Amino acid sequence: MMFPRDRQPELMDDPNLPRDEHQRALRGLARLNRSSGVAGTMYRHLRRHAMVRENRMLNILDVASGGGDVPLSWARRARRDGLNLQLTLLDISGVAVEQQQRSARELGLDVLSLQQDCLHSPLPGGFDMVTCSLFMHHLDDHQAFRLLQSMQAATETGIMICDLDRSRLNLYMVNLACRLLTRSHVVHNDAAASVRAAYTMDEFKQLAENSLARPVHVMRAFPCRFIAMLEEQTVAEAVPAFA
């Protein structure tokens, strides 16, 4: 039996969280993301968009980027594939922005990081794609509705959102994974809280389509997540999703 959404404050959202604990939690989340393979799944969709462009360039805004490990992974893969991904990472946390730039330097990548509250300030515009990973579960319906509209206003081409899928099985799997992969008590607390606060795939599809007034394709992303896509029909038809 499905349990209802239960949004509770997460420790990483506390502005008084000590810097060292915040940094440790960002590293722990990065390990969880790597183990899930979600960056590769999202990158395959981004690569489709870049491959149908004459200059193979894609200008991406990633919203609520955290430490930036997922979009930086895209940039590494794009460099290998000869694609030109221009990344702008946006997060409200100064600690997260510092981690983004530190990681980018270590990887030899040039990305722009912006410290901004995406819920109360307009997003910058003119991007080919706007992406967001593991943030929608933090929001109530009204906030998610408005953020989706803001993301749509920032791009002429497409939106890609990845988040947790709420279920009892996923709650168990996330609890187990975070205890195996990190010692951060912040991650241990927030991982379970995130699943309890997450939308189901059907819930998010309905919310997104009500917000954007367009069809939104939502697919399962093993383990424990879904990916929601709003994209130009010409791009969707040009290259198979997992080419």
Q: Tell me the CATH number for domain 18-237.
A: 3.40.50.150
The whole-angstrom separation of Cα 75 and Cα 84 is: 8
- Residue-wise pLDDT for 103-137, tens only, equals 999 999 999 999 999 999 999 999 999 999 999 99
State which H helix or E strand residue 90 sits in.
strand 84-91
Q: How confident is the model over 202-228, as pLDDT tens digits?
A: 999 999 999 999 999 999 998 899 999
Domain ranges of the chain: 18-237
Say how many CA atoms lie within 13 Å of 63 toward its Cβ: 30
What mean pLDDT comes out for the span 23-30?
A: 91
Average predicted confidence (pLDDT) for the chain: 92
- The per-residue DSSP string of 47-89 comes to HHHHHTSTT-EEEEEEES-TT-HHHHHHHHHHHHHT-EEEEEE
pLDDT tens, position by position, 36-69: 888 999 999 999 989 988 888 899 999 999 999 9
Nearest CA-CA partner of 69 in 96, 107, 30:
30
Query: Out of 172-176, 180-184, 198-202, 234-238, which region has the weakest mean confidence (pLDDT)?
Result: 234-238
